[in-house]
């Protein structure tokens, strides 16, 4: 509808200009005829005197019509320009609000997805096989826990791997030793996810790290969730180890940003992104490099603004359920038509 209004304003301006141009051409011809008539009247002398008066009147009428045409052209052009400007702004506002809603929806979808990850890690940390591997370590307990983690991974395909680390930060069991060999015995005590997971206050708490590439998992980008494994699986039990789960970020996030419903025309001139709290691009519908910083200038929780010939729409994560989010943004950058 907004594009139709803008098109109507442009068509009105063009059609009016064409018609007034036609009138101007007719007036030019009439002026030439009036001038010729005066010349012929002058040549005829006294016999052409009355005809000269008519020719003069024709010239005056022509001048008046030409002046009126000029004024009409100016007035219509000014009003058409105002309609065009209003139409463009209306279209821009509509698109900005629509894209801001889409940006919010994209970041809400990923937050709902990550909320489920926070539920998973807290649930699986109470599994008896996981608890035994940390609380009563033995080759048999570790093997049983590894089998249990493998079973989980066959059902939850969004994870690359699940690790159990003892209280000292040594990995004692993983879910995919065939795909990622040599991880058992690895020291992860200095890893952020282990330290933060071990420091959780109860079984209701969890730690989540920002998106980063994990060299031990083939350099894949992961969202890592962790929580303490507690004695006897009790909510307030003493920490006996840490469970870390590694969410396969890239395919999940890519599906979200590429799944935003855009028209074919919009898709050619639009980039959909997820940004972390530091405005670093962590997912994009177009190619991007690791660590790319996007110059977002948010003025509110959800909105849009113009930057040159670009419209930037954004929305900060509202969180979901008990997951407060990490201050991420959904962001849509679109090129403004000339």
- Tell me: do 159 and 73 sit in the same domain: no
Is residue 76 assigned to a domain? yes
How does pLDDT run along the chain (338 residues), one tens digit per residue? 555 655 666 676 677 767 666 666 776 666 676 666 666 666 666 655 666 566 566 666 666 666 666 777 776 666 667 777 777 778 888 999 999 999 999 999 998 988 999 999 999 999 999 999 999 999 999 999 999 999 999 999 999 999 999 999 999 999 999 999 999 999 999 999 999 999 999 999 999 998 999 999 999 999 999 999 999 999 999 999 999 999 999 999 999 999 999 999 899 999 999 999 999 999 999 988 888 999 999 999 999 999 999 999 999 998 887 777 889 999 999 998 76
Q: Report if residue 330 sits inside a domain.
A: no
Determine the pLDDT at residue 283.
Answer: 96
Provide the 10 A C-beta neighbour count for residue 116: 15
- 82 in the same domain as 129: no
Identify the domain containing residue 75 by its residue range. 2-91
- 185 within a domain of the structure (yes/no): yes
Residue 111 neighbours by CB under 8 Å, 6+ apart: 317, 318, 319, 320, 323, 325, 328
Q: Are residues 144 and 35 in the same domain?
A: no
Q: Are 48 and 40 in contact (CB under 8 A)?
A: yes
pLDDT of residue 70: 73
The tally of domains found in the chain comes to 2
pLDDT at 10: 65
User: Do 230 and 135 fall into the same domain?
Assistant: yes
- Residues 221, 135, single domain; the answer is yes
Decide which of 211, 234, 252 is a domain's last residue. Answer: 252
Q: What is the CATH number of the domain that holds 79?
A: 1.10.287.950
**Are residues 150 and 87 located together in one domain of the fold?**
no
Cα–Cα distance measured from residue 271 to residue 311, given in angstroms and rounded to the nearest whole number: 11
Q: Does residue 211 fall inside a structural domain?
A: yes
**pLDDT given for residue 124 in this prediction:** 98
Q: Are the C-beta atoms of 183 and 203 separated by less than 8 Å?
A: no
Same domain for 67 and 153, yes or no, is no
Tokens describing residue 95: 């698109």
Q: Do 87 and 133 share a domain, yes or no? A: no
Residue 18 and residue 60 in one domain: yes
Tell me: do 186 and 242 sit in the same domain. Answer: yes
Supply the CATH number for residue 173's domain: 3.30.450.20
* Domain annotation covers residue 300: no
Residue 306, domain member (yes or no): no
Q: How far apart, in whole angstroms, are the C-alpha atoms of residue 242 and residue 185? A: 14
């Amino acid at each position: 509808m907004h594009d139709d209004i803008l098109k109507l304003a442009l068509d009105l301006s063009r059609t009016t200009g064409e018609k007034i141009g036609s009138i101007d051409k007719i007036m030019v011809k009439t002026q030439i005829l009036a001038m010729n008539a005066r010349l012929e009247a002058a040549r005829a002398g006294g016999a052409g005197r009355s005809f000269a008066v008519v020719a003069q009147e024709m010239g005056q009428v022509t001048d008046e019509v030409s002046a009126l045409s000029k004024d009409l052209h100016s007035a219509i052009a000014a009003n058409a320009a105002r309609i065009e400007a209003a139409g463009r702004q209306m279209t821009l506002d509509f698109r900005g609000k629509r894209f801001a809603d889409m940006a919010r929806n994209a970041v809400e979808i990923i937050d709902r997805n990550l909320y489920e990850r926070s539920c998973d890690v807290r649930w699986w940390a109470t599994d008896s096989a996981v608890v035994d591997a940390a609380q009563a370590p033995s080759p048999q307990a570790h093997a049983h826990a590894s089998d249990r983690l493998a079973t989980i991974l066959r059902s939850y395909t969004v994870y690359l791997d699940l690790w159990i680390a003892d209280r000292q930060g040594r990995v004692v069991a993983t879910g995919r030793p065939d795909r990622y060999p040599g991880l058992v015995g690895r020291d992860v005590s200095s890893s952020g996810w282990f330290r933060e997971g071990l420091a959780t206050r109860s079984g209701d708490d969890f730690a989540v790290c920002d998106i980063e590439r994990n060299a031990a998992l083939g350099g894949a980008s992961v969202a890592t969730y962790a929580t303490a494994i507690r004695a006897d699986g009790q909510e307030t039990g003493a920490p006996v180890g840490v469970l870390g789960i590694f969410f396969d970020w890239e395919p999940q996030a890519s599906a979200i940003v590429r799944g935003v419903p855009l028209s074919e025309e919009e898709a050619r001139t639009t980039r959909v992104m997820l940004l972390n709290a530091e405005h670093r691009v962590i997912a994009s519908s177009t190619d991007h490099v690791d660590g790319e910083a996007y110059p977002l200038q948010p003025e509110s929780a959800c909105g849009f603004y113009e930057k040159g010939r670009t419209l930037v729409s954004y929305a900060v994560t509202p969180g979901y359920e008990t997951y407060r989010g990490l201050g991420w943004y959904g962001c849509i950058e679109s090129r403004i038509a000339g």
